[in-house]
Amino acid sequence: MMLQKALRVLSSRGRPNGQGIGLMSRSISGNAVSSQELIEYESDYSAHNYHPIPMVFSKAKDVHVWDPEGRKYLDFLSAYSAVNQGHCHEKILNALSQQAQQLTLSSRAFHNDIFPIFAQHLTSMFGYEMILPMNTGAEGVETALKLARKWGYEKKHIPKNEAIIISCCGCFHGRTTAVISMSCDNEATRGFGPFLPGLLKVDFGDADSLKSMFEAHGDKVAGFLFEPIQGEAGVIVPPKGYLQSVRELCSKYNVLMIADEIQTGIGRTGKLLACEWESVRPDVVILGKALGGGVLPVSAVLADKDIMLCFKPGEHGSTFGGNPLASAVAIAALEIVEEEKLAERAAEMGQVFRSQFLDIQKAYPHIIKEVRGQGLLNAVELNAKGLSTVSAFDICQRLKERGVLAKPTHGTIIRFSPPLTIRLKELTEASKAFKDVLEHDLPNMQRQSEGNAPHSPPEPCDRCGRIK
């Protein structure tokens, strides 16, 4: 009763004329709060650091979500591939519930009886000797960067404070200060300097450029950080043989090959790791997102002992990293991927998806520039001229109205990454919705936007001056 009274007081603050009184108490008592009210409250009280599609998640199961009004949608974003196992998988929820009643947190100041089991399961599943557990993907990347530097000084004998990390143009590894220091996204970098030194860039998919960089700086390069497929950049798939070339170059120049598999890993592309498509074993692998099964943030860095043991006690850690609750959830999440053969499903369903969307491209070649992807990590790139003054965000809003949730990136690209549990019927439903948007909704949107100023062309990168 005291909590409900306090929430009623809080809910009445900050709104003129008593607007919104009782919003929280209505929600707590189980009475419906509309999507529009919730969106307005989020806009009022939360930082505007995202530009979400105007749809509110209220309930979810497997590949579907529902809004507060009870409307049902197909989820084709999967929380940026964090929900590979499907929303609210029963096995994960059972693991969460059982462990939550037993032990939730020990910190790493002490041992707990679940983390060692998680560590052994993860290392054996992915073929590495050790893990370092963290929480978010961004923390995993930071861990890998620190590990590479430490290894560079201890094992490669790079002069003090001169270690270099190379990454790729168009990369996305998170939004920490270290990561945006290697970003090509002006929105991520402007207003946040000065940036971290010791970071160089090469074009993604260009092994010759990487070779030249190693030739020029190889004695000081500790690591090469890359995504096997660039997700945020628009699902950019590198040329065949690129990953093998990277492996050979990193071995030749004694540089750690660091694969950010936070989005591409755990079955998303049709293999446990996307690097497996070229039979490549990186020195360091970063996992996150689906490692927590869409329930808790769980991330981990994988490496062998000769690399990982460069970290000594006290040099890196996290209060919540490796906590027993997250460990239990992650074990269940990994077991589901194996038991339900989700990587194999992703490979099979991904081929179906691209086939269906390539058929749509044939019908609308002036609108669809390219369909690309691997497994169930896919994108449709649209022609700016074909869209006219309509954006990919507008297309996604119309898709939402037809019951399919997807998210645009870079103005003309729409990513499609459903849970790996998706079935043929649901893929077909999504492709039909997309075709209907192009056939029926797009012409109407174009007529309504006649006379509007065309979209501004992309700006050149502050870092390199090029337009990607």
Compute the distance between CA of residue 116 and CA of residue 271 in angstroms, rounded to an integer.
25
Q: Which of 115, 172, 204, 311 is catalytic?
A: 172
Are 76 and 376 spatial neighbours (Cβ–Cβ below 8 Å)?
Answer: no
Are 61 and 96 spatial neighbours (Cβ–Cβ below 8 Å)?
Answer: no
Q: Which residues of 410-449 are buried (b: 16+ CB within 10 A; e: fewer)?
A: ebbbbbbbbbbbbeeebbebbbebbbebbeebbeebbeeb
Compute the distance between CA of residue 261 and CA of residue 343 in angstroms, rounded to an integer.
14
Compute the distance between CA of residue 449 and CA of residue 460 in angstroms, rounded to an integer.
27
Whether 172 is catalytic is yes
Whether 289 is catalytic is yes
Compute the distance between CA of residue 453 and CA of residue 100 in angstroms, rounded to an integer.
54
Q: Which of 75, 260, 283, 394 is catalytic?
A: 260
Compute the distance between CA of residue 414 and CA of residue 407 in angstroms, rounded to an integer.
6
Q: Which of 150, 156, 201, 289 is catalytic?
A: 289
What letter does residue 441 receive in the DSSP assignment? I
Compute the distance between CA of residue 147 and CA of residue 422 in angstroms, rounded to an integer.
37
Compute the distance between CA of residue 430 and CA of residue 407 in angstroms, rounded to an integer.
14
What letter does residue 279 receive in the DSSP assignment? T
Query: Distances from the Cα of 42 to the Cαs of 35, 50, 455, in angstroms?
Result: 11, 11, 27
* HEC readout, 86-152: CECCHHHHHHHHHHHCCCCCCCCCCCCCCHHHHHHHHHHHHCCCEEEEECCHHHHHHHHHHHHHHHH
Angle between the 115-126 and 324-339 helix axes, to the nearest 10 degrees? Answer: 30
Whether 57 is catalytic is no
Query: Distances from the Cα of 238 to the Cαs of 226, 278, 305, 371, 378, in angstroms?
Result: 11, 11, 30, 14, 13
Q: H or E element: which one contains 409? A: strand 407-409
Three-state DSSP state, 238: coil
Are 163 and 153 spatial neighbours (Cβ–Cβ below 8 Å)?
Answer: yes
What letter does residue 451 receive in the DSSP assignment? T
Compute the distance between CA of residue 227 and CA of residue 351 in angstroms, rounded to an integer.
21
**Catalytic annotation, residues:** 172, 260, 289
